[in-house]
């Protein structure tokens, strides 16, 4: 039984292109399945989370990250009486628009696209699910429900208006503006509780697995984590319960306690905020003017300390920065090459290129192509088109 403030599948606002209802799947289950079967979702297998895809088989990729986010989202949604299928769909789709090489690639493509309207991975995810996936006979994209599109667009909060984050100041990303012009996503309101759950699940997942991956990479040690809030007490508890535990088991036991602490905190805060607000519908959630899904203030402050540690010891570690510079160069050289010689794009892109009437349109097509590349394909194309074997691939 869903809570009254959950997104009810039989009350969905529907799809931009009307379709016959499935006889065995709800609209949100259908959205989830279409996302899983999309080309963009499969490509996440070879896209960077923090470490470039070829650096090791055990590090998270965008695909494994998205699966972990979806698992957290289903857990939290289930406890709160929300629609687990919608939360899962939004979680699985939230990173579809990421470039190769993670945030490094997004930063590079953002600078390259500044003269043409910029680049934003959330907006690009919308572009993918509304335009770039071209498998269905009756429409471009996946023809997702309004609720799923809303969740992708504003799971991190309103994009315009007084409640929007200051980072959204300025014109809307063109990809988001195009979708919103076709179907009003009410960008001034908060999203559904399911979308808010997907957003916090993203924070839970990466805060947990980046600690795992950082330890595996050797950029920091368990002793370093003993000095931090949340992680330190977790290791102390494991040492008290299991003295002398083997290293990898000790690590796993401690970090799963960190994971549990975050999930339990989110659930407790949500239950308290929902009890206080007494929302009667999903629209009540949208118009509360604040989020109902968040960390408690004490845990949020503790997680800020962990994220600061990860920023300095992992995301900006010298070896990571060296790799960031290398892959940024790849995109900085591929993008202008494709702009000058768009005929180098695969045959299925030719019709779009020929229909492009100006440089802005062409640049957005090239950005779609480059953003869709996997790490290894971008590395291979750079070597093929611009010469020189890639040193990292030679070392593999």
Report the pLDDT averaged over residues 366-391: 88
Could you give the CA distance from residue 179 to residue 148 in angstroms, rounded to a whole number?
A: 13
162-167's contacts with Cβ under 8 Å and 24+ in sequence apart are 163/188, 163/189, 163/190, 163/289, 163/290, 164/188
Is 13 part of a structural domain of the chain? Answer: no
Domain that holds residue 222: 193-317
In sign, the C-alpha dihedral spanning 42, 154, 60, 84 is: negative
**What proportion of the chain, given as a percentage, has pLDDT over 70?**
95
Contact 250, 242 (CB under 8 A): yes
Structure tokens at 173: 């990303």
H/E stretch holding 320 reads: helix 318-340
Could you give the CA distance from residue 228 to residue 342 in angstroms, rounded to a whole number?
A: 50
Contact 47, 98 (CB under 8 A): yes
Is the pLDDT score of 52 beyond 50? no
Is 281 part of a structural domain of the chain? Answer: yes
Higher pLDDT, residue 305 or 58: 305
Is the pLDDT score of 79 beyond 60? yes
Residue-wise pLDDT tens digits, 93-102? 999 999 999 8
Residue-wise pLDDT tens digits, 214-266? 999 899 999 999 999 999 999 999 999 999 999 999 999 999 999 999 999 99
Could you give the CA distance from residue 290 to residue 329 in angstroms, rounded to a whole number?
A: 41
- What's the pLDDT at 58? 65
Read off the DSSP letter of residue 75: H
- What's the pLDDT at 57? 60
Beta strands in the chain (DSSP E): none
- What's the pLDDT at 39? 97
Is 249 part of a structural domain of the chain? Answer: yes
295-298's contacts with Cβ under 8 Å and 24+ in sequence apart are 295/200, 295/203, 295/262, 295/265, 295/266, 295/269, 296/265, 296/268, 296/269
Is 51 part of a structural domain of the chain? Answer: no
When pLDDT is cut at 50, 70 and 90, the band that residue 54 belongs to is: very low
Q: Which residues of 142-178 are buried (b: 16+ CB within 10 A; e: fewer)?
A: bbbbbbbbbbbbbbbbbbbeeebeeebeeebbbbbeb
15 forms beta bridges with 145
Max distance between CA atoms of the chain, in angstroms, equals 69
Torsion of CA 174, 134, 32, 281, to 10 degrees: 50
145 forms beta bridges with 15
Is 336 part of a structural domain of the chain? Answer: no
Q: At what angle do helices 62-80 and 84-93 cross, to 10 degrees?
A: 160
Could you give the CA distance from residue 154 to residue 161 in angstroms, rounded to a whole number?
A: 12
Is 126 part of a structural domain of the chain? Answer: no
Overall number of domains in the chain: 1
Report the pLDDT averaged over residues 199-208: 96
- What's the pLDDT at 394? 41
- 102 phi and psi, to 5 degrees? 60, -145
Distances (CA, A) of 332 to 98, 328, 341: 17, 6, 15
Is 60 part of a structural domain of the chain? Answer: no
Report the pLDDT averaged over residues 342-360: 96
DSSP string over 257-306: HHHHHHHHHHHHHHHHHHHHH---SHHHHHTSSS-SS---HHHHHHHHHH
When pLDDT is cut at 50, 70 and 90, the band that residue 51 belongs to is: low
Residue-wise pLDDT tens digits, 97-135? 999 998 899 999 999 999 999 999 999 999 999 999 999
Nearest to 245 by CA among 257, 258, 236: 236
H/E stretch holding 193 reads: helix 193-217
Tokens 């330890």 belong to: 215
When pLDDT is cut at 50, 70 and 90, the band that residue 56 belongs to is: low
Residue-wise pLDDT tens digits, 184-203? 999 999 999 999 999 999 99
Structure tokens at 259: 């994971």
Could you give the CA distance from residue 93 to residue 65 in angstroms, rounded to a whole number?
A: 11
Structure tokens at 389: 């074997």
Nearest to 155 by CA among 89, 60, 107: 89
């Amino acid at each position: 039984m869903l809570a009254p403030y959950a997104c009810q599948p039989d009350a969905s606002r529907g799809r931009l292109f009307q379709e016959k209802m499935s006889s065995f799947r709800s609209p949100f289950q259908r959205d989830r399945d279409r996302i899983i079967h999309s080309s963009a979702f499969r490509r996440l297998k070879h896209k960077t989370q923090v470490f470039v895809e070829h650096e090791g088989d055990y590090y998270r990729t965008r695909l494994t990250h998205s699966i972990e986010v979806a698992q957290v989202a289903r857990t939290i949604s289930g406890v709160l009486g929300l629609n687990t299928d919608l939360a899962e769909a939004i979680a699985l789709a939230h990173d579809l628009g990421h470039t190769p090489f993670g945030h490094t690639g997004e930063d590079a493509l953002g600078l390259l696209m500044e003269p043409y309207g910029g680049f934003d991975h959330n907006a690009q995810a919308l572009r993918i699910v509304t335009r770039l996936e071209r498998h269905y006979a009756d429409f471009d994209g996946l023809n997702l429900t309004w609720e799923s599109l809303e969740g992708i667009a504003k799971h991190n909060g309103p994009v315009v208006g007084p409640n929007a984050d200051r980072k959204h100041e300025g014109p809307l990303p063109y990809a988001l503006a195009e979708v919103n012009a076709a179907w009003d996503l009410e960008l001034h309101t908060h999203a559904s509780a399911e979308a808010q759950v997907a957003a916090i699940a993203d924070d839970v997942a990466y805060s947990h697995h980046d600690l795992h991956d950082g330890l595996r990479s050797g950029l920091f040690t368990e002793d370093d984590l003993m000095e931090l809030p949340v992680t330190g007490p977790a290791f102390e508890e494991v040492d008290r319960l299991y003295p002398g535990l083997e290293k990898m088991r000790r690590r796993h036991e401690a970090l799963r306690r960190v994971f549990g602490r975050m999930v339990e905190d989110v659930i407790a805060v949500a239950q308290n905020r929902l009890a206080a607000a007494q929302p009667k519908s999903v629209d009540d959630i949208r118009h509360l003017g604040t989020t109902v899904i968040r960390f408690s203030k004490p845990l949020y402050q503790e997680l800020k300390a962990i994220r600061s540690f990860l920023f300095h010891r992992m995301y900006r570690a010298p070896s990571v920065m060296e790799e960031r510079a290398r892959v940024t160069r790849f995109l900085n050289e591929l993008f202008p090459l494709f702009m000058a010689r768009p005929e180098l794009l695969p045959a299925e892109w030719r019709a779009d290129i020929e229909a492009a009437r100006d440089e802005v349109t062409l640049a957005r097509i090239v950005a779609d192509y480059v953003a869709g590349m996997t790490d290894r394909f971008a590395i291979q194309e750079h070597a093929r088109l611009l010469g020189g074997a890639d040193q990292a691939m030679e070392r593999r």
